């Protein structure tokens, strides 16, 4: 790709450009005036809070000059490395094939046979039998972290220290404290870090938000979101064992909480909102001491009430419902998009169904949002994609939910 700055033109990789320009901008009081003369489609800021106006970015330098990096827009594909080769990694690799501007470059696993199998299936150029070896590969631009939850922070740290941008599977970390640590590490090393919440980038979720903000059901009064399935008794599995980060809240409750916060915020013209009150009950398994089923109820600004339920040993219909003064919006298959959106209006006694078409792999949207940010294209002002301050708010709410039912992990201990 081409990097332009301060009268210099060089051919560099994404990682090198990010570091070189970051150093120049981070220690400069103002961007060189020549940068302002370049059209935006050639040069753009990379920062999660920036809009699309370059002048607004330049005006923020006095406040956060160390946070800015500049990349020239490029059609060079982002070369991905996958860290851990489980089922979720396979889904990610499948989606990459449908993403323009991305290519699977490397796969790593502690079990080299698993890495080789994933690489063979999806056409990765390189295979590594250790995570460290893949991070030493200078041709890896970005890493998708697919490890178990308790190891996310550790490998986020290793990735950014190696100069890799990171898309980490949800939950980003085990708690809010770790999420803040992860963000500081990424900022210190001038790397992009995002939480992989696939449904949050899908057109179906955008459609739901657009319907809410259109006022079709009037003012929002209540929100309900459920994510439940019956996994039976698997006390040593990653979804139930405490040492492996098991439990319903962290694995699937994070979806329901993010939805409630998203809708409560958009109801007031904001990107998301935080609960003012939260109460919860739940069942902790006697063997694993992790949550098998639990419900939280919350109050948001404007007396919007929300109920979120998640379960690992209970089957129920997984839906998300937004109830307003004029009717309701029901989302079928809100997490494994696409599904059907149903709009029911009270006065007209009418029902409208919107069947969302399946056009691409569910993971494609989060991947392309991430690579767009790498190239300096921030998430759209009204888009539903997961920003980092949203991730922090979600982790805080999940911590609160866990505290209400007495669920703690080793990561919560302050050493």
Are 379 and 387 spatial neighbours (Cβ–Cβ below 8 Å)?
yes
pLDDT attached to residue 392: 98
Ranges under pLDDT 50 in the chain: 1-73
pLDDT digits over 82-94, tens only? 999 999 999 999 9
pLDDT attached to residue 74: 52
Q: Is 1.10.10.10 the CATH classification of the domain at 78-196?
A: no
Q: Pick from 154, 151, 174: which is nearest to 412 by CA?
A: 174
Secondary structure E strands in 312-387 = 319-324, 327-332, 340-345, 350-355
pLDDT attached to residue 269: 96
pLDDT attached to residue 343: 98
Q: Out of 3.30.70.260, 1.10.3720.10, 3.30.360.10, 3.40.50.720, which CATH number does the structure's domain 199-412 have? A: 3.30.360.10
What residue spans define the domains of the chain?
2-72, 78-196, 199-412
Concatenating the DSSP letter of every residue in 244-300 gives GT-SHIIIIIHHHHHHHHHHHHHTTTSS----SEEEEEEEE-TTT-SEEEEEEEEEE
pLDDT attached to residue 146: 98
What is this structure's pTM?
0.84
pLDDT attached to residue 5: 31
pLDDT attached to residue 414: 81
């Amino acid at each position: 790709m081409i990097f332009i700055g301060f009268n210099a033109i060089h051919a560099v990789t994404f990682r090198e450009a990010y570091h070189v320009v970051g150093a120049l901008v981070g220690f400069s009081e103002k961007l060189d005036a020549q940068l302002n003369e370049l059209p935006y489609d050639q040069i753009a800021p990379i920062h999660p809070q920036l809009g699309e106006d370059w002048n607004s970015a330049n005006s923020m330098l006095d406040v956060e000059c160390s946070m800015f990096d500049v990349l020239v827009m490029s059609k060079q594909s982002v070369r991905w490395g996958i860290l851990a080769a489980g089922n979720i990694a396979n889904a990610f690799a499948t989606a990459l094939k449908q993403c323009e501007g991305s290519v699977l470059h490397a796969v790593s696993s502690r079990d080299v046979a698993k890495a080789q199998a994933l690489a063979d299936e999806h056409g990765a150029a390189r295979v590594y039998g250790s995570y460290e070896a893949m991070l030493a590969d200078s041709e890896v631009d970005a890493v998708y972290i697919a490890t178990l939850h308790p190891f996310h922070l550790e490998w986020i740290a290793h990735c950014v220290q190696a100069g890799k941008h990171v898309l980490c599977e949800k939950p980003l970390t085990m708690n809010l404290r770790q999420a803040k640590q992860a963000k500081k590490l990424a900022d210190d090393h001038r790397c992009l870090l995002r939480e992989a919440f696939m449904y949050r980038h899908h057109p179906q979720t955008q459609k739901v938000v657009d319907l809410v903000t259109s006022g079709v059901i009037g003012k929002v009064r209540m929100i309900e979101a459920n994510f439940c399935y019956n996994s039976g008794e698997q006390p040593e599995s990653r979804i139930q064992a405490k040492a492996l980060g098991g439990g319903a809240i962290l694995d699937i409750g994070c979806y329901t909480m993010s939805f409630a916060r998203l809708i409560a915020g958009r109801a007031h013209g904001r990107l998301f909102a935080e609960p003012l009150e939260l109460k919860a009950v739940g069942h902790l398994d006697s063997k694993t001491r992790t949550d098998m089923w639990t419900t939280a109820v919350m109050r948001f600004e404007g007396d919007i009430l929300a109920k979120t339920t998640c379960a690992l040993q209970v089957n129920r219909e997984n839906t998300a419902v937004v109830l307003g003064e004029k009717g309701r919006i029901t989302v079928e298959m809100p997490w494994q998009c696409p599904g059907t959106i149903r709009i029911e209006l009270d006065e007209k006694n009418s029902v409208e169904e919107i069947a969302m078409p399946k056009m691409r792999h569910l993971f494609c949207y989060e991947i392309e949002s991430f690579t767009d940010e790498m190239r300096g294209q921030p998430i759209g002002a009204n888009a539903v994609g997961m920003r980092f301050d949203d991730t922090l708010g979600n982790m805080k709410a999940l911590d609160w939910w866990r505290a209400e039912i007495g669920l703690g992990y080793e990561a919560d201990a302050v050493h």
